[in-house]
Amino acid sequence: MWHGRFTKDTAKTVQDFTQSLDIDWRMYEADIQGSIAHVRMLGKTGILKPEESAKIEAGLLKVLDEIREGKFTPSESLEDVHMNIEARLTEIEPLGAKLHTARSRNDQVATTTRLYLRTRLQALSDDLRGLLSVLVSNAERHIDIIVPGYTHMQQAQPVSMGHYWLSWFEAFYRDSQRLKFALSSLNECPLGAGALAGSTLPIDRFMTSEILGFDRPTRNSLDTVANRDYMTDYHYFASVFMIHVSRLCNDLINWNTQEFGFIVLPDEFCTGSSMMPQKKNPDVLELARGKAGQVIGNMLDLMITLKGLPMTYNRDLQEDKRGLWASLDTVEAVVKIIAELLSKVDVDGELALAGLEKGYSLATDVAEYLVMKGVPFREAHAKVGKLVGWCIAEGLAFSDLTIEQWKEHIPEADPAMMGILSARESVNRRNVYGGTGFAQVRRQIEEAKGRM
């Protein structure tokens, strides 16, 4: 009915192939919200009579009620959410045929998508703040527990478990800033850009922008209908967030194994085996780790679609939302369940400390002690490294050595050095800004609370 140029109806196969209801019907509220702003502007500028504008708005609200109440079922023959709503509006109120004045589906789609995405990202921002809060709470709970810090999956140096949780606070806090940028980049109003060149009618783009809560209208009509940068900004946030989630999950999965054993996962977030009665599998963590690839793939999907498109609008862009919705649904689910799981994670501090005492994670402390006695660091490094090799050959830990054995290998060793050879003292002495010293971790916790 809207395609007056054509003499034949669209083929059913084409309708099935080109429809986007499965993608965009979820945006019905945002679409009606944008249409109400548009028709109010048409009435205010005199393009429509005020009474016409009011009747159309009333009709739109009735359509919204019908959808919410399940009384209105959209038709694929009308392609998308936008056409379905306009068609039903016109059935209710014939003046609805004037709604599309000074508007194209190009700027309409762009506006509807931004409105919908903005609402979802604002909610996601709240959920992410909840995750940050859990990490700070965990840091407070576990500040006095000492665990091995790893590089290359080898014990490196002892750290406060609170310091570990705060490392993820920093990562996810940066993600929150990326999400904030994604929100700001979409908060311009496309309405009035038309198909690509604006309108000859005396519309007021600033009015519609203000009604819809955007910061401003978009600045260039060509760019408006072609732009999907704001989606890539979201996808970049989502991809980096899921990379962080995946790495965190990987740590917890490893540390929950019997070989490590110092992380205790809540039973209600694990599953058993269909065959092996003893199993407690970290399925939630594994699934969250596995979903990271899907989210990253959705970002690449959109970028590859965009890279070959000419200015301005092309129907390829209809597919921009399929991966976007999948990513949103995944990230929203992950941030909630990971926050809940982390709030119930426990740490076996005794087991973690026992594992540290069997190794040589205090080797750097010894080398730095020697530096304070005037030994060049490279020389101190070599001496301690040779001692470690001898201990491994003899099957001894640092805690097994007497002062005489220390002095045999490192003449500069003295009884005072023996006082630093504990994991707790090692952590406590790392009282440098950003370090794992207990005083620094407490400072970081307070700072993190302020930043949230």
Q: Which structure tokens are listed for 329?
A: 């649904």
Q: Are strands 146-151 and 154-160 parallel, antiparallel or unpaired?
A: antiparallel
How far apart (Å, rounded) are the C-alpha atoms in residues 322 and 309? 18
Helix (H) or strand (E) holding 148: strand 146-151
Round to whole Å and give the CA distance between 128 and 130. 5
Three-class SS state of 65: helix
Catalytic site includes residue 82: no
Query: C-alpha angle 391/395/396, rounded to 5°?
Result: 55
Amino acid 375 reads V
The residue annotated as part of the active site, out of 35, 53, 133, 152, is 152
In angstroms, the CA 418 to CA 382 distance is 19
Q: Residue 322: exposed, middle, or buried by beta-carbon count in 10 A (0-12, 13-18, 19+)?
A: middle
Q: Is 273 in the active site? A: yes
What does the alpha-carbon distance between residue 33 and residue 50 come to, in Å, rounded to a whole number? 18
CA distance 57 to 79: 23
Burial 324-339 (b: 16+ CB within 10 A, else e): bbbbbebbbebbeebb
Helices 438-451 + 161-186 axis angle, to 10: 20
162 and 430 Cβ atoms separated by less than 8 Å: no
User: Using omega within 30 degrees of 0 as the cis cutoff, is the peptide bond preceding 232 cis?
Assistant: no
**Tokens (6 digits) for 431:** 């009282």
Residue 150 belongs to what H/E stretch?
A: strand 146-151
CA angle 355–356–359, rounded 5-degree value: 95
Q: Which residues contact 411 (CB under 8 A, 6 or more apart)?
A: none
Residue 271 DSSP label: B
From the DSSP assignment, how many helices (H) and strands (E) are in the chain?
Answer: 19, 6
Q: Give the Cβ contact number of residue 26 at 10 Å.
A: 14
| Stated length of the chain | 452
**Which one is catalytic: 273, 327, 399, 426?**
273
Alpha carbon distance 230, 246 (integer Å):
24
- Catalytic residue IDs: 152, 273
